[in-house]
C-alpha cells in the first residue's frame, strides 16, 4: 500500500512496488505494466506521480516504453563476451542523448568504452556484453 503521509515520496513507493513485482517475477520479462491511467486510479494518485515512478524504473533499466503501446518489463539481451587485452582500459558511463539515438540504446543502459593502447576507442551497449580477461 502507498502511504501519502510516509517519509518516502509517493512516486518512490510506487517505484518500489513495481520493482518488487518485477524482481519477484510477478511481472515477467516482456510483460506490460498497467497503463499510467490504471496505476493512477488503482493507487489513488495522479498520472504525473505515476510517470515519475516509471521514469525512475526507466533510469534503472528495468522497463522500456514503447509509445504508445505501453510500458514493458525489459527482456534481457543475449550477452556476448568482449576480451580485454593488454594495454586496453575499460570504463562505463551513461550515453548522451545523441549516443543513445545513434546506437538505438534503450534508456537506463550504460555504455562500456574500451580504449586501446593507441588511444582509439570502441563503444559497447552494456546490456549486451560482459568483459573477460584475454
Partner DNA sequence: GGCTATTTGTACGTATGTATC
Partner DNA sequence: GGATACATACGTACAAATAGC
Window 82 to 101, contacts with a copy of itself (CB under 8 A): 84-97
User: Residue 31's binding partner, choosing from a copy of itself, DNA, none, with beta-carbon cut-off 5 to 8 A by kind?
Assistant: none
Q: Does 48 bind DNA (CB under 7 A)?
A: yes
**Contact string 17-56 vs a copy of itself (x = CB under 8 A):** --x-----------------------------------xx
Q: What are phi and psi of 13, to 5 degrees?
A: -65, -40
State the minimum distance, in angstroms, from the CB of residue 92 to DNA: 24
Which residues, including other chains, have CB under 8 Å from residue 89's CB and lie 6 or more apart?
114, 115
**Which cell goes with 51?**
510517470
Q: Which does 9 bind (CB under 5 to 8 A by kind): DNA, a copy of itself, none?
A: DNA
Q: Is 101 in the site for DNA (CB under 7 A)?
A: no
- What one-character-per-residue DSSP string does 16-60 give? HHHHHHHHHTSS-TTPBPPPHHHHHHHHT--HHHHHHHHHHHHHT
Amino acid at each position: 500500500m502507498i502511504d501519502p503521509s510516509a517519509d518516502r515520496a509517493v512516486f518512490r513507493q510506487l517505484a518500489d512496488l513495481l520493482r518488487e513485482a518485477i524482481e519477484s517475477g510477478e511481472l515477467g520479462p516482456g510483460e506490460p505494466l498497467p497503463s499510467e491511467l490504471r496505476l493512477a486510479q488503482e493507487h489513488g494518485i495522479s498520472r504525473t506521480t505515476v510517470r515519475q515512478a516509471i521514469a525512475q524504473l526507466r533510469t534503472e533499466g528495468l522497463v522500456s516504453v514503447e509509445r504508445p503501446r505501453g510500458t514493458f518489463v525489459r527482456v534481457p539481451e543475449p550477452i556476448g563476451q568482449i576480451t580485454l587485452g593488454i594495454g586496453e582500459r575499460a570504463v562505463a558511463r551513461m550515453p548522451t542523448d545523441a549516443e543513445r539515438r545513434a546506437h538505438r540504446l534503450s534508456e537506463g543502459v550504460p555504455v562500456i568504452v574500451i580504449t586501446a593502447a593507441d588511444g582509439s576507442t570502441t563503444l559497447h551497449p552494456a546490456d549486451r556484453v560482459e568483459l573477460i580477461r584475454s
